[in-house]
Amino acid sequence: MRRSVAAAAGALALSLGLTACGSGSGSDGDTLVVGATPTPAGEVLAHIQQNLAKKEGLDLQVREFTDYVTPNTALQEGSLDANLYQHKPYLDDFNKSKKTDLVPVTEVYLPPMGVYADSGKKLKDVAELRSGATVAVPNDTTNEGRALELLASKGVIELKKGTGANATPEDIAANPKKLTIKPLEPAQLPRSLKDVDAAVINNNFALDAGLSPKQDAVLLESVRNNPYNNVLAVKKGDEDDPKVRKLVKLLRSPEVRQFIEDKYKGSVLPVTAG
């Protein structure tokens, strides 16, 4: 039985706002309230808030969340004007399972997913995984499939044809190393490294845990033809809101591209061309 998107939430989210106020679509004037996970989305938005927004006449308010579900429910309910943290396959699955009508406005950056192991295990390549090893993966529908696709890309497992991004452990057609696939709530994956042989971790949670995707991952997603660029999302009908368009302009600006390149040094990749 496939898990719903709600499995990604685990416990209720902690809303750790970078700013203290703002009230979504009910906000006044040029205030735009945007939800984000802390890294990298929250950091990118904080850079815009502190250095660029005022020049555009935009009062940008940022609210941080520690899960993947609450930012979308808050956007649908109107306490947010937009959010930045997810890729389009996740957004599409959320809309389908939750009957929401959220839409992407622009792609911003690619946070490549990676396979990590505790430093004490000295794993250098996924091919070195021992027989019977346990590999933790995200437990939400699209990121679980994405993680399994990453493992399959190196022949560690083989998936049934046609499963793609919606694959679950039940769709593993061949498992020569007899790996145990352990789905966990995405935010728990970095903490699981001491208890498993390897974990496939979303980029933002890897960065939050002090991991460097470029240096620490034993396997990292390729950026070529990757459908998982993170997007700025709004409720359908708000795509052309002037405040949203101002934020889109800033997110696609050379200044933000430079910030992403300088801060993340290849661990997060801006979508805009240089």
Reading the block at residue 45, the tokens are 């938005």
Which residues face 264 on adjacent strands?
A: none
Model confidence at 118: pLDDT above 90: yes
Tell me whether domains 5-112+226-270 and 114-220 share a fold: yes
| Strand ranges for 43-191 from DSSP E | 59-64, 82-87, 102-110, 114-116, 134-138, 158-159, 172-174, 180-184
Write the burial class of residue 3 (CB in 10 Å: 0-12 exposed, 13-18 middle, 19+ buried).
middle
SS3 141: helix
- For 43: left if phi > 0, alpha if psi spans -120 to 50, otherwise beta; the answer is alpha
The pLDDT of residue 99 is: 97
- What architecture does CATH give domain 114-220? 3-Layer(aba) Sandwich (3.40)
What pTM was computed for the model?
0.75
pLDDT at 248 over 50: yes
Tell me the domain boundaries of the chain. 5-112+226-270, 114-220
Q: Worst-scoring range by mean pLDDT, 80-89, 132-141, 160-169?
A: 160-169
Mean pLDDT, residues 232-252 taken together? 98
Q: Is the pLDDT of residue 274 over 80?
A: no
pLDDT (0 to 100) of residue 122: 86
Assigned architecture for domain 5-112+226-270: 3-Layer(aba) Sandwich (3.40)
Q: Read off the amino acid at residue 268.
A: V
